[in-house]
Structure 1
Amino acid sequence: MKETRNFQRIDKKNLLLGSVIATIIAISPYLYYLHESVPDTQIWDTFLFTYNSGYFESANNAMYFVFSKAVPLLLIFIWFFTCKHWWYHTLLVPITMYLYQIFSIFNDDNQYIDEFQLIYMIPIMAIVIPSIYLLRAKMFNKINEANKSMEEFEEEFKMSPKNFWDKIKQYF
């Protein structure tokens, strides 16, 4: 009886989390077009903050660049935290790229957005790409030695943290 209640709590928690994720994915086109609600002025003054668009000369243009980077980043984060395949660490490369692009938007001295980010991604790629290759090589060596399917090997190599914070902690 106690196990049934515990299972129902976990099931309700998963249903709620899945519903939130599905809602975020469903409203992503609306999030992308939020920049249209920003005024086309150099200085955007709200009750929370004042934003000076600087290089962009229009707060609307600046927010267009922010949301065109932030929405795909949000979707890749969802993919990263919900992916159960062995290769999901490769998603760190586009995550790093989008984060760098967002930070470069807010750098007032930066005139060339989306350029030269490959140089800053090299350390991440130097860790992720060889790690994924070595993991893949190890899997294919085991496949040649045994009669397991690819799904069985993915299950064997999959890390299954208990909750969201455990998943975050495994990267740091």
Structure 2
Amino acid sequence: MTTQNNKSITNSDQRKTGKKSLFVGGIVVLLIALSPVLFYSYKSFPDKQIWETSYFLWKTEFPDWISYAWYLANKIIPFYLLLLWFFTCKHWWHWILLVPIAMYAFQIWGLVNENGGYDELELIYIFPLMMVLVPFVYLIRAKLFSKIRGNDLEAFEEELLRKRTIWQQIKDLFR
């Protein structure tokens, strides 16, 4: 009797988990499906340099607000989709997505501030992040593959210390 109760509880829990994952998956699909609508929302901005309403008055350095909104949409939509991908990805390599996410974040920050140097200096700020993330992700990859292949850590260290040419190192990255 107890095993039947445990099975029914387990099936009930599985149904609840399945419904929850369907709900979350539906929300993610809806957010992805909204991206073209969000992108083309730039067409609703005024085509003049000064945007005046009864609540505010804004001036842009761009030729008009449509141009500004178009540049901003071209940065925000990929940023938004990359964030969705990062938070929904279950693969071990999803941490490397932080590099383009950071790049788009710096570009958006530059556009919001309208500092004039659009898409120029983000590499200077992203390079330290890349210096940490790329070796970290590669180390995770190396440890996973050493477990899959059955190599021990000493063999992995010996392989790292072995003298190789640059071309051999590049070929080793893709084996």
TM-score tier, shorter chain, comes to 0.7 to 0.9
Q: Alpha-carbon deviations, 1:62-86, whole Å to 9, x = none?
A: 1111111111111111111111111
State whether structure 2 residue 123 is matched by structure 1 residue 118.
Answer: yes
Report the equivalent of 2:72.
Answer: 66
CA distance in 2, matches of 1:34, 1:124: 32
TM-score normalized by the length of structure 2: 0.74
Report the equivalent of 1:10.
Answer: 17
Higher relative contact order (CA 8 A, sep 6+): 1
Residue 143 and residue 48 in structure 1: after superposition, are their counterparts in 2 closer, same or farther (change >3 A)? farther
TM-score normalized by the length of structure 1: 0.75
Native 8 Å contact 1:51 1:59 kept in 2: no
Once the two structures are overlaid, the 10-residue window that deviates more, 11-20 or 66-75, is: 11-20
Q: Alpha-carbon deviations, 1:94-149, whole Å to 9, x = none?
A: 000000000000123x2220112100001211211010111111122223317xxx
Rg larger in structure: 2
Report the equivalent of 2:37.
Answer: 30
Once the two structures are overlaid, the 10-residue window that deviates more, 132-141 or 80-89, is: 132-141
Aligned ranges for residues 1-172 of structure 1 at < 5 Å? 1-46=8-53, 49-53=56-60, 55-108=61-114, 110-145=115-150
State the aligned residue count: 144
Identical amino acids, percent of aligned pairs: 40
CA root-mean-square deviation: 2.0
Q: Which has the higher helix share?
A: 2
Flag structure 2 segments of 5+ consecutive residues without an equivalent: 1-7, 152-175
